[in-house]
Amino acid sequence: MAEQDNTNAIGLTRADYKGERSTLCPGCGHNTISAQILYACYEMDIHPSNIVKFSGIGCSSKSPTYFLSQSFGFNGLHGRMPSLALGAAFADTSMKVLGVSGDGDTASIGLGQFKHLIRRNLPMVYIVENNGVYGLTKGQFSATAEKGLELKYQGVNPFLPIDIAKEALIGNASFVARSFAGDPQQVRSLLKAALSHRGTSVLDIISPCVSFNNREDTLHSYQWGRQHEAPLHDIAFVPTRKSIILDEFKEGETKEVTLHDGSVVVLKKLEKDYDPTDKYQALQMLEEAERNRWLITGLIYVDPGQPALYDYMNLVEEPLNRVPAEKLRPSAEALQKINQSMG
Amino acid sequence: MIDDLGSEKAHKSPQSQKINDFCMTICTVNGSGSATANITLLRAMFHMGIPVSGKNIFPSNIKGLPTWFSIRLSDEGYLGRVAHDDIIVQMNPATFQEDINYDIPGGVIFYADHIDLPIQRDDVVVYPMPVKDLIKAADIPRNLRDYMENMVYVGVVSQMLGIGLEYINKALLQQFEQKPSVAESNFAVVKMAADWAKDNLEKKDRYWVEEREPLEGYMLADGNTAAALGAIYGGFQFCGWYPITPATSLAESLGIYAPKLRKDPETGKNNFAIVQAEDELAAIGMAVGAGWGGIRAMSSTSGPGISLMTEYMSLAYYAEVPLVLWDVQRVGPSTGLPTRTGQGDLNLTYYLGHGDTQQLVIIPSSVNECFEFGWKAFDYADEFQTPVIVLSDLDLGMNLWITKKFDYPDKPIDRGKILWEEDLEKFESDWGRYLDVDGDGIPYRTLMGNKHKKAPYFTRGTGHDEFGNYSEAPDVWLRVMDRIKLKFDNAREKLPKPVYRNIEGAKIGLIGMGSTEPAIMEAQDILNKMGITTDFMRVRALPFSQDVRKFIQAHDRNYVLELNRDGQLHQILVTEYCDLTDRLVSLSYMDGLPLTAKWIVESLSEKEEK
Ligand SMILES: Cc1ncc(C[n+]2csc(CCOP(=O)(O)OP(=O)(O)O)c2C)c(N)n1
Ligand code: SF4
Ligand SMILES: [Mg+2]
């Protein structure tokens, strides 16, 4: 490797990507995801000042303070981070926008904003730390809790769950992936791919809540996740500045997906002939997985060509928040003309 | 009333004639295309130099329900609503009898003669109009016939009242700016109908429209368009909005004017963005995000939308995020009367948010002021780093008013205390996002994208200290909230001060706000003639300036006049000045229609008699 072990290509150390100490429960899946966000940004040489973080409300939504203290961030309202992030993104469209949400935050109170974010395809990474419960309010069922789940104070959940990846796909998301907090390598690879995608990248990450939902037989537990995880493919992420494929990449059939910034995600097919650019197949696969109680992880769908929100806006090049005030006020002559037209 | 609109111009006429001083209501069915005809009449009279106001009373419906358009002419410049009609133009069979009963004795009724209903009044002058026959005789495509029926009454009314057809033509050309051929075909129908009236109707009524000197410096515009233009001149950069009557035309006007006025001259690219949100929860979320990101952000809505925006407005207050929110009021509670006007959101907006939230509210009363507050609101928001709510209403926002031409902003855009890289480098003291360096309660802020090492901070709605760090400590909470209060108290004298219309020797005060101003001024004149002299103070902002207290103290009794049931402005005044409560009397009213001078005069003189 060319670069020093302890600095990346822009001369920063991992410490430069750190945040405050986490106050989440030890062992909480959200913590391992925070760590992977840190690594992914470090390894992709993204300067923290080029990242802006958003979240809703929940244990998961607290986590943006636990990574990247050198980035601006805004912890918004329950279920309404998408609108907050969208408005802010317009202030400087060159920033990488990173959002962290929970399953309650996204699939219950925030389902509307989530779907509309996707529909507009705002360039941002949207991470759902999905544990099937409301952690912060102490263990109520969330809308992603599986049917039949029994929790201590809640009884049995009678309803079928909302599948976040499926919702995203049906909502015409341009990037849909799922992973499992217990598989840090895959989380990191998918994060890197998501960070390179120009559009809304939905990452549904199963993230066990060790305090309220970690029974061995439930979908959102570590044990179950480890046993039932069915990775779609091995993923290697190749940033643009590197021209060779990583050593660890194994032999086998591959499919390359070129992302907007020119970087390439390489997917190794496993036993199934899986094409992540085929939406029909993606839907079919998710449906099948649900029937079989498989936890499908990996890049489920990507369309790098889908226009992003900014494409419709004809915006000036420089960040809007740096446009000098003089440029924001039309001339007196123009006002005179308006007055005349109304007179 | 517009004070300097010439009462000296008022023409002394024989008692029997009524010149430029009457109200005419046109009764139609909504969706029939009558709006163009009504506005044409209004504009024509304006071009004749007569102070006019037009009020559209319309249903919450797209097609088929009754709509009324009232035009008031007043040489003396009174623009408020009057509760009676001198002239009725009746095109709607469904409300035929009812409307006709509104006409005063000695009034006039024009009606479409295919409406086969009796007019059981012998105290009015009646003119039938053969609308269908005239349209049939003209060569008009079938699909345009219903619409063109409206131009028939324009022609007949113009002929009978003496509205010059050249002014009608001018108004039509203005309406169809892009399509002169359409203006031409409309005018042909007007002309034909006027000719018919000349040959077939004998003038028997006493109403005349007479030409005056042109109204220099005035124009006709609605408050929502003015608000949008104000925002454009105030440098708005982001608007998130969701459609709702009567606010919709504000954001839509932004969409019409901003692309023309706010393109970078070199690149032809926009330095703004407008996003139609999925609901008001998102519209305000977007505005908060944009305001936080450092661009001038706004949203516009009405009561139901304000309710949905509450939680984000509370966050914006506590996290100190600048943005501008227009509330074009309609009538609540609930869906209420969505197409009627009122001033019922004062309490809601002033205290919008849970806990100890308070908002800056500014209240324009005229179209011109909608423009002025439209740009100033952004400067206040940036200066005080907090949302600014602009309280308009349906009457002001959607109706056409005679108004002074818009003045170009008299000071440059002020973005407030923002630190970019080089500013931070030079900054001598400690910097914390919520640290009060200057002692005025207003901290400095950095914006995302700032590459200085000290710049980034984390914003949250949870308890935080001067550096934005999470804190639940009682002393920290107390300190931060007290500082925000200091900031608000400092805003009192910087927001628009009250304006006055005083009459020598008055012991009675009138206090009002917003679009009820014309009715209050007219009432003031009538009361004066009755021997009740009053001073009028129009408050333009909350929290109040010191001047408000002074005015109350200077008058034995202050009548607080407003368009809501519970007297909300009175409530706030009483809360703020509990030592002066015996000087404050509430006079409030709400039926969905604009306030009238008549109601003010009657209810005030009744109180005075007691
Ligand atoms: C408007 C509103 N309603 C309710 C709450 C209370 N609340 C806080 S967190 C939460 C659920 C969070 O669940 P999830 O998004 O799954 O996050 P987790 O804690 O599980 O990571 C709720 C209901 C709130 N903060 N705001
Ligand atoms: S309660 Fe659950 S979700 Fe919240 S921090 Fe603890 S383990 Fe994580
Ligand atoms: Mg959860």
- Per-residue 3-state assignment (H helix, E strand, C coil) for B46-72: HHCCCCEEEEEECCCCCCCCEEEEEEE
What confidence score (pLDDT) does residue A303 get? 95
B258 → chain A, closest CA residue: A330
Using one digit for the tens of pLDDT, what is the confidence trace for B301-352? 999 999 999 999 999 999 999 999 999 999 999 999 999 999 999 999 999 9
Question: Which of A49, A87, A317 shows the shortest C-beta gap to B289?
Answer: A87
Inside any domain, residue A69: yes
Q: What is the CA(A78)–ligand 3 centre distance, in A?
A: 12
Q: Is B389 exposed, middle or buried (0-12, 13-18, 19+ CB in 10 A)?
A: buried
pLDDT over 90 at B417, yes or no: yes
> Which residues in chain A are closer than 8 Å to B219, comparing Cβ atoms?
339, 342-343
Which amino acid type is present at position A331?
S
Other beta carbons within 10 Å of A178 = 28
Average pLDDT of chain B to the nearest whole number = 95
CB contact (8 A) between residue A335 and residue B461: no
Q: What is the CA(B46)–ligand 2 centre distance, in A?
A: 68
- When scoring B295, B405, B410, B469 by the number of chain A Cβ atoms within 10 A, the one with the most, hence best to mutate, is B295
For ligand 2, which residues put their CB under 6 angstroms from it?
A 24-25, 28, 30, 59, 131, 135-136, 209-212
What confidence score (pLDDT) does residue A268 get? 46
Closest ligand to the CA of B462: 1
Using one digit for the tens of pLDDT, what is the confidence trace for B523-559? 999 999 999 999 999 999 999 999 999 999 999 999 9
What confidence score (pLDDT) does residue B523 get? 98
Q: Which of residues 307-326 of A touch B (CB under 8 A)?
A: 313-317, 319-323, 325-326
> Which residues in chain A are closer than 8 Å to B315, comparing Cβ atoms?
76-77
Residue B127: closest CA among B148, B155, B102, B151:
B155
Q: List CB contacts of A9: < 8 A, sequence separation 6 or more.
A: A3, A45, A241
Q: Give the best-scoring range by mean pLDDT among A45-49, A240-244, B7-11, B79-83.
A: A45-49
Residue B247: closest CA among B324, B323, B299, B309:
B299
Report the alpha-carbon distance of residue A252 to residue B598 in Å, rounded.
88
Q: Does residue B192 contact residue B28 with C-beta atoms inside 8 Å? A: no
What confidence score (pLDDT) does residue A256 get? 60
What confidence score (pLDDT) does residue A240 get? 54
Angle at B213 between CA B211 and CA B217, to 5 degrees: 125
In chain A, what percentage of residues exceed pLDDT 90? 68
Which residue owns the Cα nearest ligand 2 atom 2?
A209
Using one digit for the tens of pLDDT, what is the confidence trace for B139-168? 888 888 889 999 999 999 999 999 999 999
Inside any domain, residue A340: no
What is the pLDDT averaged over residues B498-502?
Answer: 98
Which residue owns the Cα nearest ligand 1 atom 4?
A78
> Would you say the CB of residue A234 lies under 6 angstroms from ligand 1?
no
ipTM of the predicted structure?
Answer: 0.95
What confidence score (pLDDT) does residue A92 get? 98
DSSP B437: S
Q: In whole angstroms, how far apart are CA B234 and each of A160, A177, A340, B219? A: 51, 43, 20, 21
Q: In whole angstroms, how far apart are CA B69 and each of B89, B113, B171? A: 10, 20, 17
Question: Which of B267, B446, B459 shows the shortest C-beta gap to A74?
Answer: B459
Inside any domain, residue A318: no
Inside any domain, residue A238: yes
Q: Work out which ligand 2 atom sits closest to the CA atom of A27.
A: 7
Does A21 reach chain B within 8 Å, measured CB to CB? no
Inside any domain, residue A268: yes
> Which residues in chain A are closer than 8 Å to B453, comparing Cβ atoms?
70
pLDDT over 90 at B581, yes or no: yes
pLDDT over 50 at B6, yes or no: no
> Which residues in chain A are closer than 8 Å to B412, comparing Cβ atoms?
325-326, 329
In chain A, what percentage of residues exceed pLDDT 70? 87
| Res. A246 pLDDT band, cuts 50 70 90 | very low
What is the pLDDT averaged over residues A232-238?
Answer: 65
Q: Work out which ligand 1 atom sits closest to the CA atom of A103.
A: 16
Take residue A3 and report the two structure tokens written for it: 């670069």
Inside any domain, residue A325: no
CB contact (8 A) between residue A86 and residue B289: yes
Q: Read off φ and ψ for residue B532, nearest 5 degrees.
A: -105, 105
> Which residues in chain A are closer than 8 Å to B406, comparing Cβ atoms?
335, 338-339
CB contact (8 A) between residue B261 and residue A72: no
What confidence score (pLDDT) does residue A285 get? 87
To the nearest whole Å, the CA of A176 is away from the closest chain B CA by 22
Q: In whole angstroms, how far apart are CA A129 and each of A34, A64, A126, A202? A: 10, 12, 10, 11
Query: Which residue range forms the structural domain that includes residue A230?
Result: 3-312
Report the alpha-carbon distance of residue B186 to residue B37 in Å, rounded.
9
Q: What is the CA(A59)–ligand 1 centre distance, in A?
A: 8
| Res. A223 pLDDT band, cuts 50 70 90 | confident
Question: Which of B297, B412, B449 shows the shortest C-beta gap to A325?
Answer: B412
Domain count, chain A: 1
To the nearest whole Å, the CA of A122 is away from the closest chain B CA by 12
What is the pLDDT averaged over residues B89-94?
Answer: 95
Beta strand pairing call for A155-156 and A150-151:
antiparallel
Q: Work out which ligand 2 atom sits closest to the CA atom of A102.
A: 3
Closest ligand to the CA of A25: 2
> Which residues in chain A are closer than 8 Å to B450, comparing Cβ atoms?
49, 72
CB contact (8 A) between residue B448 and residue A95: yes
What confidence score (pLDDT) does residue A270 get? 46
Beta strand pairing call for B66-74 and B21-29:
antiparallel
Inside any domain, residue A255: yes
What is the pLDDT averaged over residues B91-100?
Answer: 93
Using one digit for the tens of pLDDT, what is the confidence trace for B469-487? 999 999 999 999 999 999 9
CATH number at residue A307: 3.40.50.970
| Res. A243 pLDDT band, cuts 50 70 90 | very low
pLDDT over 50 at B9, yes or no: no
Q: What is the CA(B132)–ligand 3 centre distance, in A?
A: 68
Burial A101-121 (b: 16+ CB within 10 A, else e): bbbbbbbbbbbbbbbbbbebb
| Res. A221 pLDDT band, cuts 50 70 90 | confident
Q: Work out which ligand 2 atom sits closest to the CA atom of A129.
A: 3
Inside any domain, residue A329: no
Take residue A188 and report the two structure tokens written for it: 């990191």
Helices (DSSP H) in B245-366: which residue ranges?
Answer: 248-261, 280-293, 303-319, 346-350
Identify the residue whose tokens are 């203006």.
Answer: B183
> Which contacts of A3-12 are long-range, i.e. CB under 8 A and separated by 24 or more positions?
A8/A42, A8/A43, A8/A45, A9/A45, A9/A241, A10/A45, A10/A47, A12/A42, A12/A45, A12/A47, A12/A48
Q: Which domains does chain B have, with CATH numbers?
A: 7-215 (3.40.920.10), 221-404 (3.40.50.970), 418-491 (no CATH), 499-609 (3.40.50.920)
Average pLDDT of chain A to the nearest whole number = 88
pLDDT over 50 at B586, yes or no: yes
CB contact (8 A) between residue B270 and residue A116: no
Q: List CB contacts of B52: < 8 A, sequence separation 6 or more.
A: B42, B45, B46, B71, B72, B73, B74, B402
To the nearest whole Å, the CA of B9 is away from the closest chain A CA by 20
To the nearest whole Å, the CA of A77 is away from the closest chain B CA by 7
Using one digit for the tens of pLDDT, what is the confidence trace for A45-76? 999 999 999 999 999 999 999 999 999 999 99
What is the pLDDT averaged over residues B367-384?
Answer: 98
pTM equals 0.95
What confidence score (pLDDT) does residue B5 get? 56
Using one digit for the tens of pLDDT, what is the confidence trace for A183-196? 899 899 999 999 99
Other beta carbons within 10 Å of A287 = 12
Using one digit for the tens of pLDDT, what is the confidence trace for A88-109? 999 999 999 999 999 999 999 9
Measure CA B610 to chain center. Answer: 35
> Which residues in chain A are closer than 8 Å to B270, comparing Cβ atoms?
313-316
Which residue owns the Cα nearest ligand 2 atom 5?
A24
What is the pLDDT averaged over residues A234-253?
Answer: 45
Q: In whole angstroms, how far apart are CA A277 and each of A74, A117, A167, A274, A306? A: 33, 20, 17, 9, 12
Q: Does residue A87 contact residue B290 with C-beta atoms inside 8 Å? A: yes
CB contact (8 A) between residue B289 and residue A74: yes
Report the alpha-carbon distance of residue A17 to residue A41 in Å, rounded.
8
Q: Which of residues 33-52 of B touch A (CB under 8 A)?
A: none
